Structure 1
């Protein structure tokens, strides 16, 4: 140990001697290079280790977002839940993983109100999103198909969603009901509606369209596989607690 300390002291003395011999200009340059190197290394480690833990629930009012939120957190639908007028936001261990809570990373889940006047709040959370769950009422889908497609189109064409390639899960909720539409039917209908929307919106002058990117491939019928970010479709029943596919999506993008 003493031998090692002697070497350290010797190296320290040699370094001090070398520094004293440097001309002021070279010393200044060396210090600047050293500081920049340390700064870049620290920033690299910071950004590499910082991954988003936020999952955003979006969709029309009445689609069942809040019920899904409570199922994820508490394992209960909280019967009597009313339409949210403020975002529900919380950090928690998924209820299905509660027995392993000491080994599992918490998830930040944000349930954004679906009322048209409140949708701008979505933009507050998208920059931190690791994934977006777009909830669709599979039971009452056809009467709202156009409105659902418009809202989904708005999300898929946001520059921060596209540039960050934020994955989107179209979650067909209430599929426990006999008259609910299948996820394949909903996917095909949404693709058709979005195809119509992108044609009509392309006709609008670029001055009127802000924070949007072009969706799909020109000259081809729109399909979700054309999106820059991954778009998948799954089924769930918030009331029945059938949310396995939702939990799988969350854990795919927020690692435990």
Structure 2
């Protein structure tokens, strides 16, 4: 572009600027302020939407006692394999993928980030690393070996339910009774009632501690009433599954309720 063309362009831009100033000067102040307000509000609205979308989490945590079947469920969600056998991992199984049951669907679906948190008591603090990004927690219970482990499961679940970040963010929790294909498996209603009874005992004993010992915990339930999961500030639901037979529809339904496809 030569010098003469540049000068013509500058002249044309100056003309447009002058015309715009004259046009704005003809608009009554009230209308001008209203237009500016609408523009600012619209810009702010779209900014909030973009920030909200960026903060929409797609991480789902599988946790529970060792041997409850978390790793089998992880592989069923990822690739439909049973991955039989129980191996205590020192590190979480972690992956971002489209749920195996949704791979054949033609419509676009959102991948899910699933973390299988080790169930060993010394490795449970790893759960805290993922809670800030969590859209939901699946607490897996072995429906066959439930009674021998009810106390340990209740203590672990109590610790999760009273974590400040879980309560403040109201992270939804699914109590997933696994291995229900076995004839000796307990029903989900029985498991729920037993967990509520054990947590009620824990609540009574732990609230008797000094406030210094429970400074990082929230109190569960309603004072003077027996504990029930319905009293929790975050939503707690209960469902059944069988990892070895790929009966995980209720698990997938929970995931898709909080990680939109």
Distance 1:70 1:11, change over 3 A: same
Of 244, 254, 260 in structure 2, the residue corresponding to residue 255 of structure 1 is 260
Distance 1:150 1:164 in 2: 21
Residues 37-116 of structure 1 mapped to structure 2, 5 A cutoff: 43-50=47-54, 51-100=56-105, 103-116=108-121
Distance 1:111 1:14 in 2: 64
Distance 1:66 1:87 in 2: 9
- Report how far residue 12 of structure 1 moved: 3.4
- In structure 1, the residue matched to 2:26 is none
Distance 1:101 1:69 in 2: 23
Distance 1:214 1:43, change over 3 A: farther
- In structure 2, the residue matched to 1:155 is 160
State whether residues 59 and 113 of structure 2, in contact with CA within 8 Å, keep that contact through their aligned partners in structure 1. Answer: yes
Residue 151 of structure 1 aligns to a residue whose secondary structure is helix
Distance 1:203 1:11 in 2: 76
TM-score, scaled to structure 2: 0.83
Distance 2:77 2:62 in 1: 11
For structure 1, the 5+ residue unaligned runs are 1-7, 19-32
Residue 237 of structure 1 aligns to a residue whose secondary structure is coil
Distance 1:59 1:211 in 2: 21
- Report how far residue 85 of structure 1 moved: 1.6
Distance 2:151 2:106 in 1: 41
Of 133, 144, 153 in structure 1, the residue corresponding to residue 149 of structure 2 is 144
For structure 2, the 5+ residue unaligned runs are 1-12, 24-36
- In structure 2, the residue matched to 1:215 is 220
Greater radius of gyration (CA): 2
Residue 206 of structure 1 aligns to a residue whose secondary structure is coil
Distance 1:152 1:244 in 2: 23
Distance 1:86 1:211 in 2: 26
1:245 aligns with 2:250: yes
Ranges of 4+ aligned residues in structure 1 off by more than 4 Å: 8-11, 14-18, 36-43
Distance 2:184 2:142 in 1: 12
Distance 1:85 1:102, change over 3 A: farther
Residue 62 of structure 2 aligns to a residue whose secondary structure is strand
Distance 1:11 1:37, change over 3 A: farther
Of 231, 241, 249 in structure 2, the residue corresponding to residue 236 of structure 1 is 241
- Report how far residue 10 of structure 1 moved: 6.2
State whether residues 67 and 86 of structure 2, in contact with CA within 8 Å, keep that contact through their aligned partners in structure 1. Answer: no
- In structure 1, the residue matched to 2:8 is none
Q: CA RMSD in A?
A: 2.4
